[in-house]
Amino acid sequence: MAQMCPCHSGKIYQECCAPYHQGEIPPTALLLMRSRYSAYALGNSDYILATTHPEHPDASHPHEMRKEQIQAFSTHTQFTGLDILSTEEEPPYAYVTFRVHLKQEGRDVSFTERSQFGRHHERWLYRQGEIHRE
Ligand SMILES: [Zn+2]
């Protein structure tokens, strides 16, 4: 049976984020953002690290530590929804503002983030994010 994409697009995974997880380059910052959300949901820490810009504040932390943190977050979180609120292009950057719906042990830990994406080797990478909790 076809698996629905964990980015909540309503499409099946193979026709949504799977090609990006398998090596295709997402053509827009928005598609990169969605594929990172679904990678978190699937516990694919390698994809998260591979799509993080070398200028991200955490990029200097040890690789193994970041991988463990991502995996622990994925394991303890349910990824129950994703709403895209806006996308903006301000070359050389692109911004996506979104609300992620998350639960940890039954508790709502949803938040809104404005992510900044930058170009690196001809592709978009996640550069940094401003988080708004409410
Ligand atoms: Zn998807």
For residue range 48-96, what is the model confidence (pLDDT) as tens digits? 999 999 999 988 999 999 999 999 999 999 999 999 999 999 999 999 9
Kindly tell me if the per-residue pLDDT of 134 is higher than 70: no
Q: Which two tokens stand for residue 29?
A: 């910052």
If you measure from the C-alpha of residue 89 to the centroid of ligand 1, how many angstroms do you get, rounded to a whole number?
A: 21
Domain count, the chain: 1
Nearest CA among 92, 96, 93, 114 for reference residue 31? 96
- For residue 39, being part of any structural domain is answered with yes
If you measure from the C-alpha of residue 17 to the centroid of ligand 1, how many angstroms do you get, rounded to a whole number?
A: 4
Residue-wise DSSP of 73-90: HHHT-EEEEEEEEEEEEE
26 preceded by a cis bond (ω within 30 of 0): no
pLDDT band at 133, cuts 50/70/90? confident
- For residue 5, being part of any structural domain is answered with no
If you measure from the C-alpha of residue 104 to the centroid of ligand 1, how many angstroms do you get, rounded to a whole number?
A: 21
CATH number at residue 84: 3.10.450.50
Mean pLDDT of the chain: 96
Give the C-alpha separation, 36 to 73, whole Å.
13
Nearest CA among 42, 48, 41 for reference residue 67? 48
Q: Specify whether the CB–CB gap between 79 and 40 falls below 8 A.
A: yes
Where in the sequence is the domain holding 17, given as residue range(s)? 13-132
If you measure from the C-alpha of residue 56 to the centroid of ligand 1, how many angstroms do you get, rounded to a whole number?
A: 23
- Structure confidence at residue 78 (pLDDT): 98
- For residue 115, being part of any structural domain is answered with yes
If you measure from the C-alpha of residue 7 to the centroid of ligand 1, how many angstroms do you get, rounded to a whole number?
A: 4
If you measure from the C-alpha of residue 4 to the centroid of ligand 1, how many angstroms do you get, rounded to a whole number?
A: 8
- For residue 106, being part of any structural domain is answered with yes
